[in-house]
Amino acid sequence: MNELIASDKDIRNQDMLIKYEPYEELEVDDRYKDIIPKIEVELSGEENKTVPKTIDTEEKLWHEMKSFDDVKKEELEEQVSTIENYTEDTQQEVKHHKCTHCTYQSTFKSIMDKHINNVHLGIKSHKCTLCDFKTARKSYLKDHMNSKHLGIKNHKCNQCDYQASQKNTLKKHITTVHLGIKNHKCTQCDYQTNEKSKLEIHIDGVHLGLRKHKCNQCDYQSSQKSALTKHINIIHLGIKSHKCGQCDFQTTKKSSLDRHIEGVHLGIKNYKCTQCDYQTTDKNKLQTHLDGVHLGIKDHKCSHCDFQSTHKSSLKEHIDVIHLGIKNYKCKHCDYAAYHKSNFTIHMNSVHLNIKGFNCSHCDYQASRKSCVKKHINNVHFGIKNHKCSQCDYQATKKCFVESHMRNEHPNIKK
């Protein structure tokens, strides 16, 4: 008598008989010792042996010889096969239900109803209990809760530190940022995006001038609800969630914080002007510099004087400071007041605390501003004078010096 186990492929059903071919001694896994009995088969020296068994014995033996892993494998294969067949059938199905408002089509009427309610009627029945977020799908609400309130973002980019709560969002990030694919293009300018909805917002806001979202505290308007929310958080609530760990800089955007750290603390400024030594961390700022300084394009004009600016924010600051006299940051040691907190901090450090963190590499000159040290080096050590008089050969390191020269030497010349 030998203790033998036959694998399931060795069992053959021939006229209610079980045939074992050929025999091989196997070790029984410890997990299955209690559920798979060892089968004693009397050998007669022949390679193949036919042993009579009843139908009940055969069925029992067949199930007992099946391991748990084999059963699970069969179940998974069956599920995959079902999904594949369903997907193929679904792809071949005709989408009978067509939206009367756009080109969207669907196989199921229920999905079409959800599309109309969400996209065209704006019905969003699923609401967040922690903020004013609304959506038409329960799955979107779950993703919102995970990403915004719980900080759960399971989908991570393998090329950078970007994380997303939805697989589709990660896919859009990779397509746009790393592959540079933007399929939706504006026909009126060179704007491109990877989302059709963003293109529509761009056209409404930039080319049609439609700004549906209005601030209830000022006259600010926007074509995007997210932009209005940011406006309220920054201007009216003063919320700046991204803070620099090396100074008191705060901002509402992580990208702005990254640019601040690169430009201010690491000295990395990738965008350089080809006509002067201006450098910046922001591509848009470089374009603004080119327009304002070298091309003389200043679209924003003051209604009270002849001041012009390339930035709307600069015009607002000009009106607040010059015409309205708004300077919220006031020094308690002297009568100095500033519009920007950064300027007030520099004043405190340099005048009252005598902190001058920027040193000249050629002499012992110190300043509280990096720009002052740069101007000092250009003027004193390099003799560079960028500001020139239009009437004579006078040159200066500062624009105010040229203006003073014009008033004294050329009083009859108007600007």
Please name the residue ranges forming H helices in 280-383: 283-289, 312-318, 341-347, 370-376
Percent of the chain with pLDDT over 70: 77
Task: With a cut of 70, say whether residue 315 has pLDDT above it.
Answer: yes
* Predicted confidence (pLDDT) per residue in 230-284, tens digit: 888 888 887 877 888 888 788 877 888 888 888 888 888 888 888 888 888 888 8
How far apart are the C-alpha atoms of 37 and 33, rounded to whole Å? 7
The alpha carbon torsion through 258, 262, 264, 266 (nearest 10 deg) reads 140
**Residue (of 44, 49, 41) closest to 25 by Cα position:** 41
Which whole number is the average pLDDT over 328-340? 89
pLDDT tier for residue 376 given thresholds of 50, 70 and 90:
confident
b/e map 301-338, b = 16+ CB within 10 Å: eeeeeebbbbeeebbeebbeeeeeeeeebeeeeeebbb
Check if the beta carbon of residue 190 is closer than 8 Å to that of residue 196. no
CATH number assigned to the domain with residue range 339-384, chosen from the 4 options 2.60.220, 3.30.1380, 3.40.50, 3.30.160: 3.30.160
Return the minimum-mean-pLDDT range out of 45-49, 132-136, 202-206, 290-294: 45-49
Q: What's residue 363's pLDDT?
A: 92
Domain spans in the chain, listed from the N-terminal domain onward: 2-71, 339-384, 387-415
Segment 32-38 shows an average pLDDT of: 46
pLDDT given at position 129: 85
- One-letter amino acid at 253 equals K
**Whole-prediction pTM value?**
0.36
Residues 6+ apart with CB under 8 A from 71: none
Sign (positive or negative) of CA dihedral 45, 46, 52, 55: positive
Number of Cβ within 10 Å of residue 228's Cβ equals 19
pLDDT of residue 399: 82
